[in-house]
Chain A
Amino acid sequence: MEMKPLPITELRSLLAAVSDHGKQHLVEVEADLMQTTILLSGAIDKLSISFMAVHEAVTKQQQVLDSLMAIHHFKQEEVDLLDNLTKEIGNEVNSAVTAMQFQDMTSQLLTRTIRRVNGLRDLLQELATHGNEMDPSHEHDEIAKFLDDMSHSLHVGSHALSGGLRRSVDQQNMVTGDVDLF
């Protein structure tokens, strides 16, 4: 019985379609991630400027209050209230300084994700390139070898991609980290 030829043309089309559609989606993912990075960077810049300005104004305000307290007699309850407000402002400033470190962590995570997206795009390109090497005139064994090589190449590429993207941010929230003195 004569064997039917393998549908190599269809297989090449499928691999090319997977590669093309995948790459198109990844381009969009990368663009969104880049936009997110820019927005977060812009937000932290504005937050930092406002934070510094508010802190400077509060510091000057405190100096004015100190001068007034040196000249005028304040009731003890007023002095206590001002002291409590100063402590409260100090605590809130500390919380804000801790919270504003979010951009350092998110940008590291975004950079890692963008590198993974780029790596995945390269793998998809490899899929299409290998697919193009197959020809309907090839023998069954040759086609099997092409597919095996393609599978191996994807495995190696994926492994290398993961290996080059070590996770450096494990924080799940903005709780302050541990301190170890050696």
Chain B
Amino acid sequence: MAKTILAVDDSGSLRQMVAFSLKAAGYDVVQAVDGQDGLNKAKEKTVDLVLTDQNMPIMDGLTLIKNLRALGSYKSVPILMLTTESSDEMKAKGKAAGANGWLVKPFDPKRLIEVVQKVIGS
């Protein structure tokens, strides 16, 4: 059974590129348009990995991570940030919030798949 990845980003084109890359590698992808939408979808079905942007309306990525980590079912689910933010300060905040990794946009599909496979397997 294919593993499911929740991709959270307010940019439709970015979500489309993430979903395209992950589906091509055999993963199922659930898409969410902001942190709140991501939290709602994560509660509906526990996914194998969350890939989230940072700067989004309604709820940002760091807040989403904190909310997910507060849920029993997401204590150990890997969460990766995929964002334009590249400062050490923001990375430290992500790590403190409970992120397992930080990917700076733009992403290379091949590299993204390698990272995802390393984190949750094929």
Contacts and interface: CB of A to CB of B under 8 A. Distances in A.
Interface of A: 44-45, 48, 52, 55, 93-94, 97-105, 107-108, 168-171, 174-182
Contact of A176 (B9, B17, B84, B111): B111
A160 B36 CA distance: 28
B100 A177 contact: no
Question: Max chain B CB contacts within 10 Å: which of A48, A103, A104, A108?
Answer: A104
B105 A97 contact: no
Interface string B47-62: 0000000110000000
Contacts of A48: 13, 16-17
Nearest to A99: B106
A97 B18 CA distance: 9
A57 to B, nearest CB: 15
B105 A180 contact: no
A58 B15 CA distance: 22
A176 B107 contact: yes
A55 B17 CA distance: 13
A177 B17 contact: no
Interface in B59-100: 84-87, 91, 94-95, 99-100
